[in-house]
Amino acid sequence: MTPAHHPHGGARPGGRTARTRAAVLEAVQAELSEGGFAALTMERIAQRSGIHLATLYRRWRTVEGLVCDLLLEAATAIPLPDTGSLADDLRLLCRRIGAFYAAAPMRRLIEAVVSSAARDAQADTVLADFFHDRLRLSGGLVRRAVERGEVPADTDPEAVMSAVGAPFYYRILIARQAVDADLAESTATAVWAAVRAGAYRTTAAAATAGPAPEARTD
């Protein structure tokens, strides 16, 4: 995410600003858990957090800005693994994503962010930038695998990581079902098998290179 798109409440780490942001985001999370996005208001957040309403409007401007800032904060709870094996990295990452979204508050958060993006241009930009940056960062797992010779050099990192996230967001936003450990395991297994088969090689290269070279199975 580019600095220009950070919600206003996250402008400066540490000190009073950080304490204010922490109190506000905790209140946003609690309000989402209790009433969902439809019941979320700046007034309720101000009352719960103890932060003046004018401060909320000055730093975040809208409810959508608050919800998107909460998403940015929550994303730090899913660290990217580096085990030395892409298969193991995918398995561990899927387990972490699964554990994150197994919690009802986190499912409500992503639902709220998607709803916000449909209503508010700022929220839409924040959401798009957020996923772009997460794909770029998590793609490092694939780039390291390329360097180790585990996968073809033309494997598309962002395509692989998009395939990792898709089943979780389908389960939450479309099927409206809970995320569980089985989903995490099946996603990791399917994505790794597809990577080995060359399913995520870049389009131009895949059209001319023929079958993918055999990848390591460890």
CATH code: domain of residue 149: 1.10.357.10
pLDDT, mean over the chain: 85
Of the candidates 96, 88, 110, the residue with the CA atom closest to the CA atom of residue 184: 96
Residues 141 and 35 in one domain: no
Residues 97 and 20 in one domain: no
In the predicted model, what is the mean pLDDT of residues 151-166? 96
pLDDT in tens, 8-23: 454 444 578 889 999 9
Domain boundary among 61, 87, 104: 61
Any domain includes 169: yes
Q: What does the pLDDT read at residue 217? A: 46
Is the pLDDT at 216 greater than 90? The verdict is no
How far apart CA 128 and CA 126 sit, in angstroms, is 6
Residues 105 and 185 in one domain: yes
Q: What does the pLDDT read at residue 52? A: 95
Residues 26 and 88 in one domain: no
Any domain includes 36: yes
Q: What does the pLDDT read at residue 209? A: 52
Residues 136 and 182 in one domain: yes
pLDDT band at residue 51 using 50, 70 and 90 as cut-offs: very high
Q: What does the pLDDT read at residue 183? A: 97
Residues 170 and 85 in one domain: yes
Any domain includes 148: yes
How many domains does the structure of the chain reveal?
Answer: 2
pLDDT in tens, 58-72: 999 888 888 888 888
Residues 90 and 38 in one domain: no
What percentage of the chain carries pLDDT values higher than 90? 55
Residues 57 and 85 in one domain: no
Any domain includes 107: yes
Residues 142 and 170 in one domain: yes
Any domain includes 111: yes
Residues 120 and 151 in one domain: yes
Any domain includes 215: no
The domain containing residue 22 runs over which residues? Answer: 8-61
pLDDT band at residue 106 using 50, 70 and 90 as cut-offs: confident
Q: Considering only residues 122 and 215, tell me which one the structure prediction assigns the higher pLDDT.
A: 122
CATH code: domain of residue 25: 1.10.10.60
Q: With beta carbons less than 8 A apart as the criterion, state whether 155 and 146 touch.
A: yes
Any domain includes 23: yes
Of the candidates 168, 36, 41, 64, the residue with the CA atom closest to the CA atom of residue 126: 64
pLDDT band at residue 3 using 50, 70 and 90 as cut-offs: very low
| pTM of structure | 0.75
